[in-house]
Amino acid sequence: MPDTLPKRTTILDIARAAGVSKTTVSRFLNGKYEYMSSQTRERIQTVISLSNYRPSNIARSLKNQRSMLVGVAIADIQNPFSASLIRGIGDILMPQDYVPVFMNSENALSREQELIESLVARGVDGLIVNTVSCQNPFIIETACKGVPVVLCDRQVADYTFDIAYAECKAILSTVVRHLYEQGFWPITLFTQPYETISPRKLRVEGFTQTMRAIGCKDPQAYIYLIDDLQENTAIEQTKRLMQQKVPGKTPAVIAGNSVMLIQVLLAVRRMGLCMPQDIGVCGPDDWDWGEHMNWSEIIQPGITTFTVPAYEVGAATARVLLKRLKNPQEPKQSVVIPSSLQIRASTLLQNP
């Protein structure tokens, strides 16, 4: 073997140098100063600060049977939403000495399972899962094995998990009413398949209920399904929408997520349409970048959005996990983070 690290400094080296036993050093490391004289304490202190000694978390983990590692499976790490999620999680976990291990499920259930398996095998103390699908026996199984699992923004069917998520349903209701008041019609929801992803489903529910409330007989007909983001489906659906235009009325699109919103905007642009005269467009803004970097304002003529407080969702999830780790018995909890509507020109038909 070539040059290995020049032999690790261990607790034993420190003990010998300070002329005490491993136990005492260990106690020192764990802050149990009641068990030693102040001289001893100072001696150890000195020796350690003079050395480059760092206790091995691995050995510690083996002994304590806890790793201080938290596995985090993110459905799609490339989504800007996830970036904020990640920051929120890290900001809460790290001050408590937990290290989050972020992994990308790439929107594939099989991949999510692999990750979770590998994470559990690595001995994480808990799991945060932004799941790929609510139909998820595997994750239930994992929880049943005794691994603390907290869901992040997305529900799983048939089992009660700890969870924190962004409010989705009420905000959709607010959006529909806003568009209705502005006189848009038809009001449509562009969404990816929503059966297995809870926030999407909730949005559809909020949409459907409110549409019915404002007198629409068949809300389902106003839902435009976008199967594949990689294809030009959004464009085709936008075309379809424009063909079904009601004379004298302006149609509106609510995009189900921000990537879809971008696609719809792309379609609008390619078709040479003007917002809001030809079409009203709005959708979620889950980028969480603050007002100085707000893309929805840059795009002509300013896009109406509803915020998805990703950072807060991440932070809340982490807090729930911390609580769970401290008290395994406590009943399961759900934390809901509210959203708000940011009205801009893209859905303002009437003068204010």
Binding site for its own copies (CB under 8 A): 2-6, 8, 52, 54-59, 61-62, 65, 67, 77-80, 82-84, 86-87, 90, 94, 99, 101-104, 118, 120-123, 145-147, 229-232, 259, 262-263, 265-266, 269, 288-290, 292-295, 297-300, 328-329
Phi, psi (5° rounding) for residue 128?
-115, 125
20 binds DNA (CB under 7 A): yes
Which one of 10, 196, 333, 334 is in contact with DNA (CB under 7 A)?
10
**SS3 state of residue 87:** helix
Which one of 21, 45, 118, 220 is in contact with DNA (CB under 7 A)?
21
Which one of 17, 36, 151, 172 is in contact with DNA (CB under 7 A)?
36
296 touches, from DNA, its own copies, none (C-beta below 5 to 8 Å by class): none
Q: What is the full DSSP assignment across 17-59?
A: HHTS-HHHHHHHHTT-GGGS-HHHHHHHHHHHHHS-----HHH
C-alpha distances (whole Å) from 150 to each of 120, 142, 269 are 14, 11, 41
Q: What is the full DSSP assignment across 129-181?
A: EE-S-S--HHHHHHHHTT--EEEES---TTS--EEEEE--HHHHHHHHHHHHH
Angle at the Cα of 238 from the Cα atoms of 205 and 134, rounded to 5 degrees: 35
In whole angstroms, the minimum distance from the beta carbon of 84 to its own copies comes to 7
45 binds DNA (CB under 7 A): no
Which one of 2, 4, 11, 100 is in contact with DNA (CB under 7 A)?
11
24 binds DNA (CB under 7 A): yes
In whole angstroms, the minimum distance from the beta carbon of 333 to DNA comes to 28
Q: Are 284 and 257 in contact (CB under 8 A)?
A: yes
**Rg, Å, the chain Cα set:** 26
Measure the CA–CA gap between 51 and 55, rounded to whole angstroms: 12
Which one of 62, 94, 213, 221 is in contact with DNA (CB under 7 A)?
62
Q: Which helix (H) or strand (E) holds 245?
A: none
In whole angstroms, the minimum distance from the beta carbon of 107 to its own copies comes to 12
Interacting residues toward DNA by CB under 7 A: 8, 10-12, 19-24, 26-27, 29-30, 35-37, 39-41, 54-56, 59-60, 62-65
